[in-house]
Structures are given as C-alpha cells and as structure tokens.
Amino acid sequence: MSPLLLAVIALATFCTSILSGIFGMAGGMILLAALMTVLPVATAIAVQGVIQLIANGSRAIFSRQYIDWRILGTILLGLLAAATLLFIVRYTPDFVTVCLAVGLMPILVWIPKDWLALDASKPVHGFLCGFFGSGLNLAVGVAGPTIDIFFIRTEMDRRTVIATKAAAQVLSHGAKIVFYGAMASAMSAGDWSIALIAAPFAILGTNVGYRVLQRLTDDNFRKWTRWIVTGIGLFYLVRGLLALAGGQ
C-alpha cells in the first residue's frame, strides 16, 4: 500500500476517533466505509476491528471511573451467545449486506421511547444489547445505533453512557478480530501494518474527542448523535443500493 494511502487512512482514523470520542459511535461507521474502498469486506472489518479496539480501549481507560461493570457483564453474555451462533452457521459478510444493514441502522435512533423502551441497566435488556448490538457489530462491522438504543434512553449521564459503551465495544471488536482473523488469509502482514500505523492516531483522536465531550451538554449529546448517525446511514444505504443495482 502506498505511503499516501496510508497517510489518508491515518488521517481518517484520527478524525473518526475524535467523532467516536465525543458521541461514542459514528466514527467506526465512517472508518469502515473508507477501509472497504481499498480492502475486501472481511479484511476491512478485521482491520477496522483492530483500530476500533485501540480507540475504544483508550476511551474506556480515559473514562474508566464511569464504567458500569454490571451492565458490561450482561452485554458480554449476549455477545458470546451471538458469536457462537455466527460461528455455527459459518457466517461470511458481503459488501451489499454490510452497506444495507448499516444504512438501515439509524432508523432505530428515531423510534419513540414509548415504542421501544430499552434500558441496558436491566439484565435482560443488557443481554439483548450484547446479542443484537454486539452481535451485529460482529456480523457487519459496526452497530453503534443498535447499541445506542439500549443506552440513550437510560437515566445515565453522557459520561457513563460513553464509558460503558466504549468498554462494550472493546469486547465486541475483540471478538470481531478473533472471528475474522480466524478466516483463511483474512489479514496479511500488510493489513496488520495498516492497523499498527493507524493505532497512535486512534488514541490521539480519542483523547481529543474525550476532552470535547466534557464540554457538551446531555441534550446536545443526544440531539447531535441522532443527526450524525442518520447522515452516515443514508450514505451507506445509497452505496448499498447502487452496488445492488450494479450487480456487485
């Protein structure tokens, strides 16, 4: 891979990590889109998983005092159940499926609270968050809006939401690396080098985003999260529909 392309990926990692550091998602959606333009789908998901693991790991460390460990435990159980199911059916992702799935996710953040009152602090809901949210992350590479509906409607403040979601994403991205890394030739030495070069930029961007988060109100946090994720989702949906029409 050319030095210029590596520089572009590093810059994209930095910018998307800032976005994730502020809103707890959205950055990974953009980064995956960028990686899928230069890498096969499974490889892009695996590389994005490494970068996002580092980004979310640093975010979880920065805000570790706000992590709700009980919620994290129930999410882990759901993730393990989803990973087992995907392994049994020998699931393999494809470009159109990933784009359409990610493109439709933002619908979830617009569902009225009275229609779907999910709360990750409830044990059963936490398990479902891990199964559907983290499981979808494992299947298509990102699942921010799916996980978000279990958190955005709780009584937790934005710092607890960001910290606990970051820790949950560490688990799901770690599972993603193992799942796709186990595929034959899923990641070459060159692919690993992309992740390693991007890693410092992920940490730096996350640090910047975390500082911005401290200045953001809870109301603005929730409002901007919806609109940003919706815009990214529309991009994915159009891209998926065009690929489907073109027979990709």
Q: In sequence order, what DSSP letters do the residues of 135-183 get, joined into one string?
A: HHHHHHS--HHHHHTTTTTSS--HHHHHHHHHHHHHHHHHHHHHHHHTS
Q: How is residue 28 written in tokens?
A: 């990974």
Q: According to the model, what pLDDT value does residue 184 have?
A: 42
Rounded CA separation 50/186 (Å): 13
Q: How is residue 244 written in tokens?
A: 């489907």
Determine the angle formed by the axes of helices 218-245 and 27-36, rounding to 10 degrees.
Answer: 20
Contact 66, 163 (CB under 8 A): yes
Q: How is residue 218 written in tokens?
A: 């809870």
106 DSSP 8-state letter: G
Rounded CA separation 62/156 (Å): 18
Domain that holds residue 220: 3-245
Q: According to the model, what pLDDT value does residue 176 have?
A: 82
37 DSSP 8-state letter: T
Extract the residue ranges of the chain whose pLDDT is less than 50. Answer: 184
Q: According to the model, what pLDDT value does residue 207 have?
A: 84
- CA dist 113 → 107, 152, 153 (Å): 13, 10, 7
Determine the angle formed by the axes of helices 189-213 and 158-181, rounding to 10 degrees.
Answer: 180
Q: How is residue 180 written in tokens?
A: 């796709």
Phi, psi of 79, deg, nearest 5: -60, -45
Report the number of distinct structural domains present in the chain. 1
pTM as predicted: 0.74
